[in-house]
Chains A and B, each alone.
Chain A
């Protein structure tokens, strides 16, 4: 089955380093990067430290530079930091705005360039929320449940608001009754569909990105739907594991 126009465009784009403004918005969640003068200036300085970076045309960006800059500065786009905490960006903004109301107030600045978040926020929240500091979390679901409960109690957020703010894995939801129990929280985003994605339902793709950067991930359900195109880009040795359940979930005819 062919990818839709947007997916096909992203798939072709990811085989190179350059991405367009729409991709920066949809995947990284960064709006108007070209107009963010402080951010582009600092990224340009970072770019100069790289060996032979390509020169991007207008409205296009080097994703290795974007991701390398974020990694070096230990920053994440708001959308990605929120996903790491299993929530939607609006709830993350509420938490940051109310960080002085936490049992131990967080006085640090966490927002940089208006759209990037200090990735230490998650660790800092764990340190100041009652009952979380010393805990070993067995998995991301356990982490998110406990974090959300602690935030709700500490900041007086209603149950309904917290429930609405949870970011679920789109693949798990698409699997419906064949999805996992308990439901999977998202932690990343699919690099081709830009949908929220959990570790359980992801497969790594190898578009030749350097190892020091975060891998490109897509949903296993999306992978089996477009296996012919994606198989040459599967990372690692051999076919990704556990694809049978996703193949079974495809409607007859491969849709």
Chain B
């Protein structure tokens, strides 16, 4: 089992999606998920799709797709050449006003959710409308966005990190602080104060010039996090295609 990411259950999910040394294959999370169920059809809501996936792949056991009490993930991954991703669809649904069990169970309420979907497939569309890969924030078509971090090629973990940075920042920051802390201890600078919390605080307080003062530390932090994410999942995106379709 690799070292933990931002959430332990996320680590288990990635482990389940990536069997070691298999030249090609496909996996789903939850394992019994039918990828056709994980599509929001015309006239359907996100909740309709969520209920169908939970009912058909988990027999109504909501915890089987829960990464957090209010975050569900449904994933489909296909790969070839041992580590090359050829198709990925991952949906992350974060409930804003209740937990997932209530979201599944309570009808007749206008539930508030945040929706993310990572798409990586061979569909190109009109020129430059489909960055490779891209993220949707609505279940229906446009708009599509490329997000931070594609340079690593580690799109699955980068996408999940994006969800955590946007919606569970405290958990992400605590993970990042753990990694930074080990680096800081190893540097053996007892005379200097660890600036991690100051960097977090300066960001939230809009103190750009303070961040600038810590530019070197921030670059080191990024590089440490990239390395840690790289260990977490073996599959990578086709960077040539990524670059060609980027604009």
Which A residues are closer than 8 A to B by beta carbons? 131, 134-136, 199-200, 202-204, 210-212, 214-215, 217, 234-241
Q: A204-B205, A211-B197, A236-B211 are in contact. List 9 more A-B contacts (CB 8 A).
A: A135-B97, A136-B94, A136-B114, A136-B166, A202-B206, A211-B193, A215-B205, A236-B208, A236-B212
Residues 198 to 227 of chain B near chain A (Cβ within 8 Å): 198, 201-202, 204-213
- Which A-B residue pairs are the 8 nearest by beta carbons? A236-B209, A236-B210, A134-B70, A211-B193, A237-B212, A237-B213, A131-B97, A236-B213
Question: Cβ of A134 and Cβ of B95 under 8 Å apart?
Answer: yes
- Across-interface contacts of B70 in A (CB, < 8 A): 134
Q: Mark B45-70, 1 if CB is under 8 A from A, else 0.
A: 00000000000000000000000011
- Across-interface contacts of A202 in B (CB, < 8 A): 205-206
- Across-interface contacts of B210 in A (CB, < 8 A): 204, 235-237
Question: Cβ of B193 and Cβ of A234 under 8 Å apart?
Answer: no
Given the known inter-chain contacts A134-B98, A136-B94, A136-B96, please indicate yes or no for A235 contacting B209, CB distance below 8 A.
Answer: yes
Given the known inter-chain contacts A136-B114, A136-B166, please indicate yes or no for A211 contacting B198, CB distance below 8 A.
Answer: yes
Question: Cβ of B202 and Cβ of A204 under 8 Å apart?
Answer: yes
- Across-interface contacts of B96 in A (CB, < 8 A): 134-136
A235 to B205, CA, bound (A): 12
A212 to B194, CA, bound (A): 8
A214 to B197, CA, bound (A): 10
Question: Cβ of B205 and Cβ of A199 under 8 Å apart?
Answer: yes
Task: Say yes or no: is B195 at the interface (Cβ < 8 Å to chain A).
Answer: yes
Question: Cβ of A238 and Cβ of B212 under 8 Å apart?
Answer: yes
Task: Say yes or no: is B121 at the interface (Cβ < 8 Å to chain A).
Answer: no
Name the distance in Å between A80's Cβ and chain B's nearest Cβ: 15
Name the distance in Å between A52's Cβ and chain B's nearest Cβ: 15
- Across-interface contacts of B194 in A (CB, < 8 A): 211
A211 to B114, CA, bound (A): 36
Using CB atoms, name the residue of chain B closest to A200.
Answer: B206
Question: Cβ of B99 and Cβ of A240 under 8 Å apart?
Answer: no
Name the distance in Å between A190's Cβ and chain B's nearest Cβ: 13
Task: Say yes or no: is B142 at the interface (Cβ < 8 Å to chain A).
Answer: no
Q: Contact partner of A236 among B94, B112, B207, CB < 8 A? A: B207
Residues 17 to 45 of chain B near chain A (Cβ within 8 Å): none
Name the distance in Å between B191's Cβ and chain A's nearest Cβ: 12
Question: Cβ of A240 and Cβ of B209 under 8 Å apart?
Answer: yes
- Across-interface contacts of A236 in B (CB, < 8 A): 202, 207-213
Residues 69 to 97 of chain B near chain A (Cβ within 8 Å): 69-70, 94-97
A131 to B96, CA, bound (A): 7
Task: Say yes or no: is B138 at the interface (Cβ < 8 Å to chain A).
Answer: no
- Across-interface contacts of A211 in B (CB, < 8 A): 193-195, 197-198
A65 to B205, CA, bound (A): 24
Question: Cβ of B208 and Cβ of A241 under 8 Å apart?
Answer: yes
Q: List 7 A-B contacts (CB under 8 A).
A: A134-B70, A135-B97, A136-B114, A211-B195, A235-B207, A235-B213, A236-B207
Name the distance in Å between B228's Cβ and chain A's nearest Cβ: 24
Using CB atoms, name the residue of chain A closest to B195.
Answer: A211
Name the distance in Å between A56's Cβ and chain B's nearest Cβ: 23
Using CB atoms, name the residue of chain B closest to A234.
Answer: B209
Using CB atoms, name the residue of chain A closest to B208.
Answer: A241
- Across-interface contacts of A217 in B (CB, < 8 A): 205
A203 to B202, CA, bound (A): 10
A199 to B208, CA, bound (A): 12
Question: Cβ of B99 and Cβ of A199 under 8 Å apart?
Answer: no
Task: Say yes or no: is B151 at the interface (Cβ < 8 Å to chain A).
Answer: no
A239 to B208, CA, bound (A): 10
A236 to B69, CA, bound (A): 39
Question: Cβ of B97 and Cβ of A212 under 8 Å apart?
Answer: no
Name the distance in Å between A174's Cβ and chain B's nearest Cβ: 18
Given the known inter-chain contacts A204-B205, A236-B213, please indicate yes or no for A134 contacting B193, CB distance below 8 A.
Answer: no
- Across-interface contacts of A204 in B (CB, < 8 A): 202, 205, 207, 210
Name the distance in Å between A115's Cβ and chain B's nearest Cβ: 25
Task: Say yes or no: is B174 at the interface (Cβ < 8 Å to chain A).
Answer: no
Task: Say yes or no: is B148 at the interface (Cβ < 8 Å to chain A).
Answer: no
- Across-interface contacts of A212 in B (CB, < 8 A): 193, 197
Name the distance in Å between B165's Cβ and chain A's nearest Cβ: 11
Name the distance in Å between A8's Cβ and chain B's nearest Cβ: 25
